[in-house]
């Protein structure tokens, strides 16, 4: 196999806990504690775990939106953490992110044309306004929106359409990696299916790789090739999707898998109170 697109080794993100007037460090919150993964070109890597497991921190750390405390991240064979300003600017074009809440991630005072087209001008991919308009129209078509959408503002679109715009903003720069941070989680089922189909289609058409962050294993099973399971900042399991669902190793993974909603009432498990009492005491107590 050739060289992976992104290679992460021992990524750690610690936040200091400070105390006293002198603000001396008394300890660390280990948001991420040693995560390794390889992401090949054209692959979808799922990151799963519940709230507080460090999924989002990982997604941001690999884009250097958060500086990792330790570890190395290579992107296309170059060390991401040692890049200078010029290289980093190039990396920003190559790697994009789509967030959970599309409305919060679009500027309400910019038209769609401005939101999608801004990066094109910044990275010098287009020189004139006419070229920019043309590219934006092309991208809107790719994500299944009419070209005249570019003159409108975010609030004029439904949630699913806004998410399409965010995806359009990410793909317009021809990136190689897109981090999808719960990109389909806040949507209704049928809209969610539309967005998942779009992601799948764009991946094939444009040869993208995704880092797909989600707490919903059914989405992960559908979209991803390999999965990393995070629990309290630690990597508990990594496997291909088929393997993970056929033969989960870690008890935490098993629990995540068992909480996927069933598809027929015949599959209801026998209700047991015992089961629940054990489960929840450890779950709800935040460290």
Partner 1 sequence: MADPILRVRDLTTRLQIGNQSVAVVDGLSFDLHAGKTLALVGESGCGKTLAALSLMRILPQPPALPSTGEVLYKNRNLLTVSEKEMRAIRGARIAMIFQDPSSSLNPVYTIGNQLLEIAELHLGLTGDEAVEHAMQALADVHIVSPRTRFFDYPHQLSGGMRQRVMIAMALMCEPDILIADEPTTALDVTTQSQILDLIKSMQKSKGTAVLLITHNMGIVAETADEVVVMYAAQAVEYDTVYNLFDHMSHPYTQGLFAAMPSNHRTKEPLYSIKGSVPSPMMFPKGCRFHPRCPYAMEKCRSGAVPDFTVNKDEHHHVKCWLYDGSEESAQKRSVKLI
Residues that bind partner 1 (CB under 8 A): 50-51, 158-160, 188-194, 196-197, 200-201, 215-219, 221-223, 255-256, 258-268, 271, 273, 275-277, 279-281, 283-286
Closest CA to 225 of 72, 13, 43, 57: 43
Closest CA to 33 of 85, 68, 66, 60: 68
Residue 257: its H or E element: helix 251-258
Closest CA to 90 of 173, 209, 206: 173
Distances, alpha carbon 272 to alpha carbons 258, 276, 284, in Å: 14, 7, 19
**Strands of 24-39's sheet, edge to edge?**
24-39, 6-19, 70-75, 78-79
**Shortest Å distance, C-beta 186 to partner 1:** 9
Three-state DSSP at 19 gives: strand
**Shortest Å distance, C-beta 94 to partner 1:** 25
**Shortest Å distance, C-beta 88 to partner 1:** 34
Contact 112, 151 (CB under 8 A): yes
Q: What φ, ψ does residue 160 adopt, rounded to 5°? A: -65, -40
C-alpha R_g of the chain: 20
**Shortest Å distance, C-beta 59 to partner 1:** 17
19 vs 218, beta carbon nearer partner 1: 218
Residue 10: its H or E element: strand 6-19
69 vs 185, beta carbon nearer partner 1: 185
**Shortest Å distance, C-beta 112 to partner 1:** 18
44 vs 73, beta carbon nearer partner 1: 44
**Shortest Å distance, C-beta 135 to partner 1:** 26
81 vs 193, beta carbon nearer partner 1: 193
**Shortest Å distance, C-beta 13 to partner 1:** 21
8 vs 220, beta carbon nearer partner 1: 220
Strands 6-19 and 70-75: antiparallel
């Amino acid at each position: 196999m050739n060289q992976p697109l992104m290679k992460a080794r021992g990524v750690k993100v610690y936040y200091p806990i400070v105390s006293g007037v002198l603000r001396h460090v008394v300890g660390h919150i280990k948001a991420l504690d040693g995560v390794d993964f390889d992401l090949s070109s054209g692959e979808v890597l799922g990151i799963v775990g519940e709230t507080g497991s460090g999924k989002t921190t990982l997604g941001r750390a690999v884009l250097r939106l958060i500086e990792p405390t330790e570890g190395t991240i290579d992107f296309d064979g170059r060390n991401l953490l040692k890049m200078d300003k010029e290289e980093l600017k190039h990396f920003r074009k190559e790697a994009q992110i789509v967030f959970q809440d599309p409305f919060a991630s679009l500027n309400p005072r910019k038209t769609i044309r401005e939101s999608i087209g801004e990066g094109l001008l910044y990275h010098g991919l287009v020189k004139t306004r006419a070229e920019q308009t043309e590219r934006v129209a092309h991208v809107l078509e790719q994500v299944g929106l009419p070209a005249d959408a570019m003159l409108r503002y975010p609030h004029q679109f439904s949630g699913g359409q806004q998410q399409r715009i965010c995806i359009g903003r990410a793909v317009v720069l021809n990136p190689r990696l897109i981090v999808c941070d719960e990109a389909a989680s806040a949507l209704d089922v049928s809209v969610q299916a539309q967005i998942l189909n779009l992601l799948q289609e764009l991946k094939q058409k444009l040869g993208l790789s995704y880092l797909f962050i989600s707490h919903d294993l059914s989405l992960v099973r559908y979209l991803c090739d390999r999965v990393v399971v995070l629990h309290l900042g630690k990597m508990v399991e990594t496997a291909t999707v088929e393997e993970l669902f056929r033969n989960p190793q870690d008890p935490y993974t098993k629990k995540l898998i068992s909480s996927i909603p069933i598809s027929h009432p015949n599959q209801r498990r026998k209700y047991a109170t015992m089961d629940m009492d054990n489960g929840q005491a450890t779950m709800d107590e935040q460290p």
